[in-house]
Structure 1
Amino acid sequence: MPKSRIKACGKQALIAATCSLALSACAGNGFHNTASGDFRVETVPSQNASERVRFLVMHFTASDFASSLEVLTQPSSYPVSSHYLVPEHGDSSYPHPDLRVYQLVDESRRAWHAGPGEWEDRTQVNDQSIGIEIVNRGRCHPPVEMVAQKAGEEVCFFPEFDREQIELVIELSRDILARYPEITPTRVVAHADIRPYRKVDPGPRFPWEQLAAAGIGAWYDDDTVNRHLENLRGNTSSDRESIRLRFARWLADYGYGIDPETATDGDIGLYTRAFQYHFRPWKVDGEVDNQTRAILLALLEKYFPDKLGSYDDIDTGVIAELQPAE
């Protein structure tokens, strides 16, 4: 499946000519696990298997193209990598007039981009994901990993993403999703979603709603949010602690790696901030307010409606509306 606009390039392109690859060739097709030998191999596909790739993780690089490419491809004391790197316009370290997708790790291999990230019931997200690094100089002072584990104790700067760069991310993501059906909308996640204690990328300026409109990732319906918001505003009997603990349960049901039984107030604040970076970027404060709760309920209703029945904060009329007609 050749792509006219996407060029997947290796590190050598920074120095000399680029290599043009078809993205569909990046993932192996069929069985190619045996070396040549004096034996015959019969292939009988088993129905008892699944794709290795389950998640798509979005990052920003926090540095320019050249620095990002070096960090993601060269040995170091803290080696990292990703499957893809997407540059931006206006970067003097980028050597081409047009934007190109750089492939750094074959999709069949494990890139080191997610650390011990958690999503759904899975840990070590590196083992089950494809990572896209997007050149953007978002940064926090001091870095998130150096501050106490509490939302809001660092000062962060988040530049806008390049419009053409995002279009290229969308095209690349569509290509990936077409080849990995297990990457459902709620499995397209931010680095911050899977590691909220240490990461904030790709930050609040990443256009998740635009990606969802293009068929990449999850987003909510405004009318559903408003319906849940009206119901939540009518419930004035719950105290702050019980509201936050219930919200932690909803986060876990959506996919976040928080443990509702052991979560501290600080834990809930950090996971709430990660959720807001993704789904309420215009106000990121780590507070479990009614709007944040309504957005999460709207997402659960859209993608996991079977989980709503046991929630105290859901109007029974809403549950009835979700049931299929007999």
Structure 2
Amino acid sequence: MTQASHFLEVKNMKQYFPIRKGVFKRTVGYVRAVDDVSFFIDDQETLGLVGESGCGKTTLGRTVLHLLKPTEGKAFFMGQNVETMLSDNPRGIRQKMQIIFQDPYGSLNPRMTVNEIVGEAVRYYGLCSKRELDDYISEVLSKCGMLPEHRFRYPHEFSGGQRQRISIARALALKPKFVVCDEPVSALDVSIRSQILNLLNDLKEQLKLTYLFISHDLAVVRHISDRVAVMYLGKIVEKAPKLEFFSNPLHPYSHALLSAIPVPDPKRQRQRIILEGDVPSPANPPSGCRFNPRCRYAMERCKKEQPPLVDVGNGHFVACFLHSK
């Protein structure tokens, strides 16, 4: 089955986790981690997915890759249904779609050397002969800013930034086309973040990669993304090209996120928007607009109806009754 011309397209994706209680573990409800999400990413583009912790960003990324089987919805990669591709040729699709995890230490096996970590999948997929394997691993590590002698060390012998470079090398060793970057710099020191972001940008240009870049930091997203999608409590509430989003944010939640970005000028002060109340539970989301209990512009309509994601021009979409008829 073929689909639209976008490099990656996600349609009406849902990921619900059952809540079970009692002796017989009966299902009494669901955690709606991802609830009817649709978006696309074009070839060699970076889509930045932002939102507070717990809004469903990581779950969405893993569901797109089918590391978690979706409750509903479909993902199409290069015109083909990912679920169908997994059934027909799981090795092929797994090679083309990779992920870089948030915690570079927790995602690396402490009992394996860098040579084994990066080379394991290369051997499994037979990307090169045994004779060429060491040179191939050294070349991949070199692209990620590591030295050939690092191949014989273990993860605990490296700094956080170096471990993340190893994680990136492991993902890129399979020559993927699409990479989910799951908060790849959030666990790193601020001084190291820009190095890793610049590395990801350079690799994207060299290897013609496409990224879904997940982050809670809009300053990071501004640096690396081509388009931005804002997620709140399992739903995308705004998406737009980067320049359009940062110059003209429309959703009240986007305004609050942008107000939290530090200004690198002590003479300038940004008026911080403090959101009242706690983030509602995805197991029991509020009726109507999910942001309405914390929104200073909430109307009676917002409590009863769920605003659709509407096009307001310039590739800008927003789910808010302030900007829809």
Q: TM-score range by the shorter chain?
A: under 0.3
TM-score by length of 1: 0.26
Structure with greater proportional strand content: 2
Pick 1 or 2: higher relative contact order, CA cutoff 8 A, min separation 6.
2
